[in-house]
Protein backbone atom coordinates (compact mmCIF):
# COMPACT_ATOMS: atom_id res chain seq x y z
CA UNK A 1 0.00 0.00 0.00
CA UNK A 2 1.09 3.54 -0.63
CA UNK A 3 -0.08 6.75 0.95
CA UNK A 4 -3.25 6.51 -1.14
CA UNK A 5 -4.01 2.96 -0.16
CA UNK A 6 -3.13 3.55 3.48
CA UNK A 7 -5.41 6.56 3.67
CA UNK A 8 -8.29 4.54 2.25
CA UNK A 9 -7.65 1.74 4.71
CA UNK A 10 -8.08 4.11 7.65
CA UNK A 11 -11.38 5.31 6.19
CA UNK A 12 -13.02 1.91 6.14
CA UNK A 13 -15.66 0.77 8.58
CA UNK A 14 -13.22 -1.57 10.27
CA UNK A 15 -9.46 -1.72 10.39
CA UNK A 16 -7.28 -4.75 10.86
CA UNK A 17 -3.96 -4.15 12.54
CA UNK A 18 -1.76 -6.96 11.29
CA UNK A 19 0.35 -8.54 14.00
CA UNK A 20 0.34 -5.72 16.53
CA UNK A 21 2.56 -7.55 18.94
CA UNK A 22 4.94 -4.66 18.63
CA UNK A 23 4.87 -1.84 21.07
CA UNK A 24 5.75 1.37 22.67
CA UNK A 25 9.30 1.96 23.82
CA UNK A 26 10.39 1.94 27.43
CA UNK A 27 11.73 5.41 28.21
CA UNK A 28 14.79 4.13 30.05
CA UNK A 29 15.75 1.12 27.98
CA UNK A 30 14.12 1.59 24.57
CA UNK A 31 12.80 -1.98 24.79
CA UNK A 32 9.57 -3.10 23.18
CA UNK A 33 6.76 -4.13 25.49
CA UNK A 34 4.12 -6.53 24.25
CA UNK A 35 0.54 -5.41 23.74
CA UNK A 36 -2.37 -7.60 22.84
CA UNK A 37 -3.33 -7.81 19.18
CA UNK A 38 -6.88 -6.45 19.02
CA UNK A 39 -7.71 -8.01 15.64
CA UNK A 40 -10.46 -5.94 14.07
CA UNK A 41 -11.10 -2.53 15.54
CA UNK A 42 -14.32 -0.64 14.85
CA UNK A 43 -13.72 2.80 13.35
CA UNK A 44 -15.66 4.43 16.18
CA UNK A 45 -13.22 2.90 18.64
CA UNK A 46 -10.43 5.00 17.15
CA UNK A 47 -11.90 7.96 19.02
CA UNK A 48 -11.44 6.16 22.32
CA UNK A 49 -8.38 7.40 24.23
CA UNK A 50 -7.83 3.89 25.58
CA UNK A 51 -6.85 2.66 22.13
CA UNK A 52 -4.07 5.18 21.62
CA UNK A 53 -1.34 2.81 22.91
CA UNK A 54 -2.51 0.25 20.33
CA UNK A 55 -2.29 2.78 17.51
CA UNK A 56 1.13 3.84 18.74
CA UNK A 57 2.33 0.23 18.83
CA UNK A 58 1.09 -0.42 15.31
CA UNK A 59 2.76 2.71 13.93
CA UNK A 60 6.09 1.94 15.62
CA UNK A 61 6.04 -1.61 14.35
CA UNK A 62 5.53 -0.43 10.79
CA UNK A 63 8.28 2.17 11.17
CA UNK A 64 10.74 -0.47 12.34
CA UNK A 65 9.90 -2.58 9.32
CA UNK A 66 10.53 0.49 7.15
CA UNK A 67 13.98 1.06 8.65
CA UNK A 68 15.21 -2.44 7.88
CA UNK A 69 13.55 -2.58 4.44
CA UNK A 70 15.27 0.69 3.57
CA UNK A 71 18.62 -0.72 4.71
CA UNK A 72 18.23 -3.94 2.72
CA UNK A 73 16.97 -2.23 -0.43
CA UNK A 74 19.54 0.55 -0.26
CA UNK A 75 22.26 -2.02 0.37
CA UNK A 76 21.46 -3.72 -2.92
CA UNK A 77 21.25 -0.45 -4.85
CA UNK A 78 24.55 0.80 -3.42
CA UNK A 79 26.48 -2.40 -4.12
CA UNK A 80 26.86 -3.48 -0.50
CA UNK A 81 25.12 -6.73 -1.44
CA UNK A 82 24.76 -9.09 -4.39
CA UNK A 83 21.63 -11.08 -5.11
CA UNK A 84 22.43 -14.74 -4.39
CA UNK A 85 19.06 -16.28 -5.12
CA UNK A 86 17.06 -17.22 -8.20
CA UNK A 87 14.11 -14.90 -7.73
CA UNK A 88 13.60 -12.08 -10.22
CA UNK A 89 11.93 -9.83 -7.63
CA UNK A 90 15.25 -9.72 -5.81
CA UNK A 91 17.59 -9.43 -8.79
CA UNK A 92 15.95 -6.22 -9.99
CA UNK A 93 17.40 -4.26 -7.08
CA UNK A 94 20.96 -5.30 -7.90
CA UNK A 95 20.89 -4.31 -11.57
CA UNK A 96 18.37 -1.54 -10.86
CA UNK A 97 15.64 -2.46 -13.33
CA UNK A 98 13.55 0.69 -13.79
CA UNK A 99 10.29 -0.85 -14.98
CA UNK A 100 10.48 -3.68 -12.48
CA UNK A 101 11.27 -1.40 -9.54
CA UNK A 102 8.27 0.79 -10.35
CA UNK A 103 6.15 -2.29 -9.79
CA UNK A 104 7.79 -3.23 -6.49
CA UNK A 105 6.87 -0.79 -3.69
CA UNK A 106 7.70 -3.33 -0.97
CA UNK A 107 5.86 -4.45 2.12
CA UNK A 108 6.07 -6.05 5.56
CA UNK A 109 5.19 -9.43 6.97
CA UNK A 110 5.46 -11.42 3.76
CA UNK A 111 7.01 -14.44 5.39
CA UNK A 112 10.41 -15.46 6.67
CA UNK A 113 11.65 -16.69 3.30
CA UNK A 114 10.53 -13.75 1.18
CA UNK A 115 13.09 -12.33 -1.22
CA UNK A 116 11.21 -9.15 -2.09
CA UNK A 117 12.62 -5.71 -1.32
CA UNK A 118 11.37 -2.13 -1.44
CA UNK A 119 10.69 0.43 1.29
CA UNK A 120 8.12 2.80 -0.22
CA UNK A 121 5.02 1.07 1.15
CA UNK A 122 6.32 0.51 4.71
CA UNK A 123 7.64 4.08 4.99
CA UNK A 124 4.44 5.59 3.63
CA UNK A 125 2.28 3.40 5.86
CA UNK A 126 4.33 4.27 8.93
CA UNK A 127 4.37 7.97 8.05
CA UNK A 128 0.59 8.02 7.72
CA UNK A 129 -0.01 6.02 10.90
CA UNK A 130 2.35 8.20 12.94
CA UNK A 131 0.85 11.46 11.69
CA UNK A 132 -2.68 10.13 12.17
CA UNK A 133 -1.75 9.11 15.72
CA UNK A 134 -0.45 12.60 16.46
CA UNK A 135 -3.69 14.16 15.22
CA UNK A 136 -5.77 11.85 17.39
CA UNK A 137 -3.59 12.42 20.45
CA UNK A 138 -4.05 16.17 20.00
CA UNK A 139 -7.76 15.76 20.70
CA UNK A 140 -7.14 14.25 24.15
CA UNK A 141 -5.60 15.42 27.41
CA UNK A 142 -2.70 13.95 29.33
CA UNK A 143 -5.21 12.76 31.93
CA UNK A 144 -7.14 10.80 29.30
CA UNK A 145 -4.07 9.15 27.74
CA UNK A 146 -1.24 8.09 30.04
CA UNK A 147 2.18 8.79 28.50
CA UNK A 148 0.51 11.03 25.90
CA UNK A 149 3.46 13.40 25.70
CA UNK A 150 5.90 10.56 25.11
CA UNK A 151 3.63 9.18 22.38
CA UNK A 152 3.55 12.62 20.77
CA UNK A 153 7.35 12.83 20.85
CA UNK A 154 7.68 9.32 19.39
CA UNK A 155 5.16 10.03 16.66
CA UNK A 156 6.99 13.19 15.62
CA UNK A 157 10.47 11.64 15.78
CA UNK A 158 9.60 8.49 13.86
CA UNK A 159 7.53 10.44 11.34
CA UNK A 160 10.56 12.67 10.84
CA UNK A 161 12.61 9.60 9.98
CA UNK A 162 9.99 8.21 7.61
CA UNK A 163 9.93 11.52 5.74
CA UNK A 164 13.74 11.50 5.73
CA UNK A 165 13.98 8.01 4.21
CA UNK A 166 11.42 8.85 1.55
CA UNK A 167 13.14 12.12 0.72
CA UNK A 168 16.55 10.48 0.56
CA UNK A 169 15.63 7.51 -1.59
CA UNK A 170 12.90 8.72 -3.92
CA UNK A 171 13.39 10.90 -7.00
CA UNK A 172 10.12 12.67 -6.22
CA UNK A 173 7.38 12.22 -3.69
CA UNK A 174 3.66 12.51 -3.00
CA UNK A 175 1.92 12.47 0.35
CA UNK A 176 -1.69 11.42 0.91
CA UNK A 177 -2.76 11.57 -2.73
CA UNK A 178 -1.25 15.03 -3.01
CA UNK A 179 0.79 16.77 -5.71
CA UNK A 180 4.32 16.00 -6.80
CA UNK A 181 6.94 17.03 -4.25
CA UNK A 182 10.69 17.40 -4.46
CA UNK A 183 12.97 15.68 -1.93
CA UNK A 184 13.80 19.12 -0.52
CA UNK A 185 10.13 19.73 0.25
CA UNK A 186 9.97 16.41 2.06
CA UNK A 187 13.14 17.24 4.01
CA UNK A 188 11.52 20.49 5.17
CA UNK A 189 8.63 18.50 6.65
CA UNK A 190 11.06 16.06 8.25
CA UNK A 191 13.01 18.86 9.90
CA UNK A 192 9.80 20.32 11.35
CA UNK A 193 8.82 16.89 12.72
CA UNK A 194 12.22 16.52 14.38
CA UNK A 195 11.94 20.01 15.89
CA UNK A 196 8.59 19.07 17.42
CA UNK A 197 10.01 15.84 18.79
CA UNK A 198 12.98 17.67 20.33
CA UNK A 199 10.69 20.20 21.98
CA UNK A 200 8.31 17.63 23.46
CA UNK A 201 11.05 15.17 24.47
CA UNK A 202 12.94 17.98 26.21
CA UNK A 203 9.82 19.00 28.11
CA UNK A 204 9.30 15.46 29.43
CA UNK A 205 13.04 14.89 29.97
CA UNK A 206 13.24 11.91 27.61
CA UNK A 207 16.90 12.00 26.60
CA UNK A 208 16.69 9.02 24.24
CA UNK A 209 13.92 10.52 22.12
CA UNK A 210 15.53 13.96 22.22
CA UNK A 211 18.86 12.59 21.03
CA UNK A 212 17.19 10.44 18.38
CA UNK A 213 15.40 13.47 16.96
CA UNK A 214 18.57 15.57 17.20
CA UNK A 215 20.54 13.04 15.14
CA UNK A 216 17.63 12.90 12.70
CA UNK A 217 17.56 16.66 12.31
CA UNK A 218 21.34 16.75 11.84
CA UNK A 219 20.98 14.10 9.13
CA UNK A 220 18.21 15.89 7.27
CA UNK A 221 20.06 19.19 7.55
CA UNK A 222 23.05 17.51 5.95
CA UNK A 223 20.71 16.29 3.22
CA UNK A 224 19.67 19.89 2.65
CA UNK A 225 23.21 21.23 2.58
CA UNK A 226 22.79 23.13 5.85
CA UNK A 227 26.24 22.30 7.22
CA UNK A 228 26.12 24.84 10.04
CA UNK A 229 22.82 23.50 11.33
CA UNK A 230 23.90 19.89 10.90
CA UNK A 231 27.10 20.50 12.87
CA UNK A 232 25.24 22.32 15.65
CA UNK A 233 22.83 19.42 16.13
CA UNK A 234 25.44 16.68 15.79
CA UNK A 235 27.63 18.28 18.46
CA UNK A 236 24.78 17.98 20.99
CA UNK A 237 24.59 14.17 20.88
CA UNK A 238 26.35 12.57 23.87
CA UNK A 239 28.93 9.82 23.65
CA UNK A 240 27.45 6.34 23.98
CA UNK A 241 24.03 7.25 22.64
CA UNK A 242 22.21 4.83 20.36
CA UNK A 243 18.52 4.44 19.58
CA UNK A 244 17.63 1.08 18.10
CA UNK A 245 14.83 -0.47 16.16
CA UNK A 246 14.14 -3.84 17.72
CA UNK A 247 12.83 -7.07 16.32
CA UNK A 248 11.18 -10.26 17.49
CA UNK A 249 10.41 -13.72 16.17
CA UNK A 250 6.86 -13.62 17.51
CA UNK A 251 5.62 -12.98 13.97
CA UNK A 252 7.33 -12.63 10.55
CA UNK A 253 6.27 -8.97 10.38
CA UNK A 254 8.52 -8.21 13.35
CA UNK A 255 11.60 -10.13 12.24
CA UNK A 256 14.75 -8.46 10.99
CA UNK A 257 14.30 -9.04 7.26
CA UNK A 258 17.89 -8.08 6.52
CA UNK A 259 19.11 -10.88 8.80
CA UNK A 260 16.77 -13.35 7.09
CA UNK A 261 18.00 -12.28 3.67
CA UNK A 262 21.70 -12.40 4.50
CA UNK A 263 22.08 -15.18 7.07
CA UNK A 264 19.02 -17.36 7.52
CA UNK A 265 18.36 -17.88 3.80
CA UNK A 266 21.56 -16.89 1.96
CA UNK A 267 19.50 -14.70 -0.37
CA UNK A 268 22.02 -11.83 -0.30
CA UNK A 269 25.80 -11.98 -0.26
CA UNK A 270 28.15 -9.20 0.78
CA UNK A 271 29.66 -7.72 -2.40
CA UNK A 272 33.44 -7.70 -3.02
CA UNK A 273 33.94 -4.04 -2.04
CA UNK A 274 33.01 -4.94 1.53
CA UNK A 275 34.98 -8.17 1.90
CA UNK A 276 38.30 -8.28 3.70
CA UNK A 277 38.41 -4.62 4.64
CA UNK A 278 41.30 -3.71 6.88
CA UNK A 279 42.37 -0.71 8.91
CA UNK A 280 45.91 -0.25 10.17
CA UNK A 281 46.74 -3.65 8.73
CA UNK A 282 44.10 -5.65 10.61
CA UNK A 283 40.50 -6.62 9.88
CA UNK A 284 38.13 -3.69 10.24
CA UNK A 285 35.76 -4.65 13.10
CA UNK A 286 33.03 -2.39 11.70
CA UNK A 287 32.56 -4.52 8.59
CA UNK A 288 32.49 -8.06 9.91
CA UNK A 289 32.05 -10.50 7.03
CA UNK A 290 32.49 -14.28 6.85
CA UNK A 291 33.31 -16.34 3.79
CA UNK A 292 30.90 -19.27 4.16
CA UNK A 293 32.65 -21.29 1.41
CA UNK A 294 29.41 -22.16 -0.33
CA UNK A 295 27.23 -20.71 -3.04
CA UNK A 296 23.75 -19.30 -2.66
CA UNK A 297 20.43 -20.71 -3.86
CA UNK A 298 21.25 -19.42 -7.37
CA UNK A 299 24.06 -22.03 -7.46
CA UNK A 300 26.59 -19.42 -8.56
CA UNK A 301 27.09 -16.56 -6.10
CA UNK A 302 29.62 -17.20 -3.33
CA UNK A 303 28.11 -16.51 0.07
CA UNK A 304 29.81 -13.91 2.22
CA UNK A 305 27.71 -13.26 5.30
CA UNK A 306 27.46 -10.00 7.17
CA UNK A 307 27.99 -10.43 10.91
CA UNK A 308 26.63 -7.07 12.05
CA UNK A 309 23.13 -8.44 12.67
CA UNK A 310 23.21 -11.98 13.94
CA UNK A 311 19.58 -12.87 14.62
CA UNK A 312 16.10 -12.10 13.33
CA UNK A 313 14.59 -11.72 16.78
CA UNK A 314 15.86 -9.52 19.60
CA UNK A 315 18.47 -7.86 17.44
CA UNK A 316 19.15 -4.15 17.61
CA UNK A 317 19.32 -2.05 14.47
CA UNK A 318 20.70 1.50 14.89
CA UNK A 319 18.25 4.24 13.97
CA UNK A 320 20.37 7.04 15.38
CA UNK A 321 23.68 7.02 17.21
CA UNK A 322 26.55 9.06 18.57
CA UNK A 323 28.78 7.52 15.89
CA UNK A 324 26.53 8.76 13.11
CA UNK A 325 26.31 12.19 14.73
CA UNK A 326 30.10 12.45 14.88
CA UNK A 327 30.42 11.53 11.22
CA UNK A 328 27.83 14.15 10.33
CA UNK A 329 29.88 16.62 12.36
CA UNK A 330 33.03 15.53 10.54
CA UNK A 331 31.51 16.13 7.12
CA UNK A 332 29.99 19.43 8.17
CA UNK A 333 33.09 21.02 9.71
CA UNK A 334 35.95 19.50 7.69
CA UNK A 335 39.62 20.07 8.48
CA UNK A 336 41.13 19.00 11.78
CA UNK A 337 37.67 19.00 13.33
CA UNK A 338 36.72 16.23 10.92
CA UNK A 339 39.78 14.15 11.82
CA UNK A 340 39.03 14.58 15.52
CA UNK A 341 35.43 13.44 15.02
CA UNK A 342 36.55 10.45 12.94
CA UNK A 343 38.93 9.41 15.70
CA UNK A 344 36.19 9.64 18.32
CA UNK A 345 34.17 7.22 16.21
CA UNK A 346 37.15 4.93 15.68
CA UNK A 347 37.69 4.79 19.43
CA UNK A 348 34.26 3.16 19.83
CA UNK A 349 35.59 0.13 17.96
CA UNK A 350 39.06 0.32 19.52
CA UNK A 351 40.62 1.41 16.22
CA UNK A 352 43.81 3.45 16.36
CA UNK A 353 43.39 7.15 15.51
CA UNK A 354 43.77 8.34 11.95
CA UNK A 355 47.06 10.09 11.36
CA UNK A 356 47.01 13.73 10.35
CA UNK A 357 46.59 13.61 6.55
CA UNK A 358 48.98 15.44 4.22
CA UNK A 359 48.15 18.96 3.16
CA UNK A 360 45.70 18.97 0.29
CA UNK A 361 44.02 15.68 1.25
CA UNK A 362 40.33 15.49 0.36
CA UNK A 363 38.87 15.37 3.89
CA UNK A 364 35.36 14.75 2.61
CA UNK A 365 36.56 11.60 0.87
CA UNK A 366 38.05 10.38 4.17
CA UNK A 367 34.76 11.05 5.96
CA UNK A 368 32.75 9.22 3.31
CA UNK A 369 35.02 6.19 3.61
CA UNK A 370 34.59 6.17 7.39
CA UNK A 371 30.83 6.41 6.87
CA UNK A 372 30.93 3.54 4.38
CA UNK A 373 32.47 1.33 7.03
CA UNK A 374 30.89 2.53 10.27
CA UNK A 375 27.36 2.66 8.81
CA UNK A 376 27.64 -0.52 6.75
CA UNK A 377 24.26 -2.22 6.19
CA UNK A 378 22.32 0.69 7.64
CA UNK A 379 21.22 2.11 4.28
CA UNK A 380 23.42 5.17 4.46
CA UNK A 381 25.92 4.36 1.73
CA UNK A 382 23.15 4.63 -0.84
CA UNK A 383 22.20 8.04 0.53
CA UNK A 384 25.82 9.18 0.39
CA UNK A 385 26.11 8.03 -3.21
CA UNK A 386 23.10 10.11 -4.16
CA UNK A 387 24.19 13.14 -2.11
CA UNK A 388 27.75 13.15 -3.38
CA UNK A 389 27.08 11.84 -6.88
CA UNK A 390 29.28 8.80 -6.31
CA UNK A 391 29.08 6.61 -9.44
CA UNK A 392 26.83 3.58 -9.31
CA UNK A 393 27.82 0.25 -10.79
CA UNK A 394 27.57 0.10 -14.57
CA UNK A 395 28.13 -2.38 -17.36
CA UNK A 396 27.18 -6.03 -16.93
CA UNK A 397 27.17 -7.97 -13.68
CA UNK A 398 28.45 -11.50 -13.11
CA UNK A 399 25.07 -12.95 -14.20
CA UNK A 400 24.99 -11.10 -17.49
CA UNK A 401 22.47 -8.53 -16.29
CA UNK A 402 23.02 -4.96 -17.49
CA UNK A 403 22.96 -2.26 -14.83
CA UNK A 404 20.47 0.49 -15.62
CA UNK A 405 21.11 4.19 -15.13
CA UNK A 406 18.62 4.34 -12.24
CA UNK A 407 19.99 5.97 -9.09
CA UNK A 408 17.15 7.46 -7.03
CA UNK A 409 13.92 5.46 -7.00
CA UNK A 410 10.97 6.59 -9.13
CA UNK A 411 7.50 6.66 -7.65
CA UNK A 412 5.90 3.21 -7.91
CA UNK A 413 3.12 2.50 -10.37
CA UNK A 414 0.61 2.10 -7.57
CA UNK A 415 1.12 5.79 -6.73
CA UNK A 416 1.30 7.27 -10.21
CA UNK A 417 -1.65 5.24 -11.52
CA UNK A 418 -3.95 6.12 -8.64
CA UNK A 419 -2.93 9.65 -7.72
CA UNK A 420 -4.85 12.10 -9.98
CA UNK A 421 -1.91 14.54 -9.81
CA UNK A 422 0.16 12.11 -11.89
CA UNK A 423 -2.36 10.71 -14.35
CA UNK A 424 -1.62 13.28 -17.01
CA UNK A 425 2.13 13.25 -16.65
Whether residue 117 contacts residue 72, with contact meaning beta carbons closer than 8 Å, is answered with yes
**What torsion do the CA atoms of 12, 17, 23, 24 make, to the nearest 10 degrees?**
0
Q: Kind of pairing, strands 242-245 and 317-321? A: antiparallel
Domain membership flag for residue 126: yes
CA dist., res. 425 & res. 417, Å (int): 10
Whether residue 163 contacts residue 186, with contact meaning beta carbons closer than 8 Å, is answered with yes
Domain membership flag for residue 415: no
Q: What is the pLDDT of residue 425?
A: 53
Backbone angles phi, psi at 400, to 5 degrees: 80, 15
Sequence-ordered list of residues with C-beta below 8 angstroms from that of 29, at least 6 positions apart, any chain: none
Domain membership flag for residue 67: yes
Domain membership flag for residue 257: no
What residues make up the domain containing 134?
Answer: 3-248+316-397
Domain membership flag for residue 74: yes
Tell me how crowded residue 113 is: count the other CB atoms within 10 A of its CB.
12
The contacts found for 264-267 with CB under 8 angstroms, 24 or more apart, are 264/112, 264/312, 265/85, 265/112, 265/113, 265/115, 265/297, 266/84, 266/85, 266/292, 266/294, 266/296, 266/297, 266/303, 266/305, 267/83, 267/84, 267/85, 267/87, 267/90, 267/115, 267/296, 267/297
**Average pLDDT taken over every residue of the chain:** 89
What are the percentages of helix, strand and coil residues in the chain, rounded to 5? 50, 10, 40
The SS3 call for residue 375 is: coil
- Exposed, middle or buried by CB within 10 Å (0-12, 13-18, 19+), for 260? buried
DSSP string covering 9-21: HHTSSEEE-TT--
CA dist., res. 312 & res. 265, Å (int): 11
Q: Helices (DSSP H) in 170-300: which residue ranges? A: 183-203, 207-223, 227-234, 257-259
Q: What is the pLDDT of residues 362-406, one digit of tens each?
A: 999 999 999 999 999 999 999 999 999 999 999 999 999 999 999
Sequence-ordered list of residues with C-beta below 8 angstroms from that of 231, at least 6 positions apart, any chain: 218, 328, 329, 332, 333
CA dist., res. 120 & res. 137, Å (int): 26
- The arithmetic mean of pLDDT across residues 71-88, rounded, is 95
Q: What is the pLDDT of residue 246?
A: 83
Domain membership flag for residue 244: yes
Domain membership flag for residue 255: no
Structure confidence at residue 314 as a pLDDT band (50, 70, 90) = low
The rounded Cα 305 to chain-centroid distance in angstroms is 20
| pTM (predicted TM-score) | 0.90
The SS3 call for residue 70 is: helix
The SS3 call for residue 227 is: helix
Whether residue 94 contacts residue 405, with contact meaning beta carbons closer than 8 Å, is answered with no
Q: What is the pLDDT of residues 159-186, one digit of tens each?
A: 999 999 999 999 999 999 999 999 999 9
- What's the CATH code of the domain at 330? 1.25.40.390
CA dist., res. 338 & res. 345, Å (int): 11
Q: What is the pLDDT of residues 224-255, one digit of tens each?
A: 999 999 999 999 999 999 999 988 888 877 88
Domain count, the chain: 1
- Give the single-character DSSP code of 144: T
What share of the chain in percent tops pLDDT 90?
A: 79
Q: What is the pLDDT of residues 107-161, one digit of tens each?
A: 987 667 789 999 999 999 999 999 999 999 999 999 999 999 999 999 999 999 9
The distance in angstroms from the start CA to the end CA of the chain is 21
Structure confidence at residue 40 as a pLDDT band (50, 70, 90) = low
Tell me how crowded residue 187 is: count the other CB atoms within 10 A of its CB.
24
Domain membership flag for residue 283: no
CA dist., res. 27 & res. 23, Å (int): 12
pLDDT value at 204 more than 50: yes
Amino acid sequence: MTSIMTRRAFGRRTIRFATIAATTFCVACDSLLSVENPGRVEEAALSDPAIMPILSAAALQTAQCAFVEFAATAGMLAGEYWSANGFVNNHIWEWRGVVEIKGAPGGCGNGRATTSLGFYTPAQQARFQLDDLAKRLATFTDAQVPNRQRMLAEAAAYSGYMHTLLGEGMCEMALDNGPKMTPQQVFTIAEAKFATAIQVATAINDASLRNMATVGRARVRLDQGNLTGAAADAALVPAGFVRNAEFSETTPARENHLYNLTVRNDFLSVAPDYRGLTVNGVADPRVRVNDMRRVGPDNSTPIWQQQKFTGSGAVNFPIASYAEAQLILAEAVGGQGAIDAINRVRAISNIAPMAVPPTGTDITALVLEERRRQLFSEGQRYVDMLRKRIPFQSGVNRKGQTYSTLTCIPLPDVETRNNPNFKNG
